Amino acid sequence: MFFYLIAFAAGLALATQAAINSQLSKAVGDQPVVAALISFFTGTLLLLFITLSKANLSEVWFNLPHQPWWKWIGGPLGAMVVFTTVLLAPKVGVSNMLFFIIVGQLIMAMLIDHYGLISMPVRSATLWKFIGLTVVFIGMTLFFYGEKWFKS
């Protein structure tokens, strides 16, 4: 249960981060790429502090050069996500933006789990998972667009 609470908190943080970074973008002359850079820089400083106090860096430096290329793209993917949220949040709204991000995350997560992509353990995409994904999709669609469809 604790890990699910951490995931829930990460979701809260992502929505908050998008709103904060979009305001930072306005403050730096409507430049979303600069706001994303500042966001990543301050996050990097925090992670550097934690790493220096908690990690075994000699093991890291020994193993790092032996990693395949694809293990290096997590950071750029994260940077693109942050940049995208900074760019889109003020244009489409945090809720609408997150709707599409969540749908994309769920679809990709099911593919990764089902096929064990990126060396992840296989967790089959069962009928119940597809039904659950459909229910989530319908619920999110109603959440975001229900008022437009069912005006009184």
The secondary structure of residue 150, as a DSSP letter, is S
Q: What is the Cα–Cα distance from 125 to 111, expressed in whole angstroms?
A: 8
pLDDT at 59: 92
pLDDT at 99: 85
Render each residue's pLDDT in the chain as its tens digit; 152 residues: 899 999 999 989 999 999 999 999 999 999 999 999 999 999 999 999 999 999 999 999 999 999 999 999 999 999 999 999 999 999 999 988 988 898 899 899 999 999 999 999 999 999 999 999 899 889 988 887 888 888 86
Q: What is the Cα–Cα distance from 26 to 19, expressed in whole angstroms?
A: 11
pLDDT at 152: 63
Q: What is the Cα–Cα distance from 35 to 62, expressed in whole angstroms?
A: 34
- The answer to whether the beta carbons of residues 24 and 38 sit under 8 Å apart is yes
pLDDT at 148: 85
Phi, psi (rounded to 5 degrees) for 135: -60, -45
pLDDT at 63: 94
Angle formed by the axes of helices 2-27 and 32-54, to 10°? 140
Count other Cβ atoms within 10 Å, centred on residue 7.
9
- The answer to whether the beta carbons of residues 25 and 37 sit under 8 Å apart is no
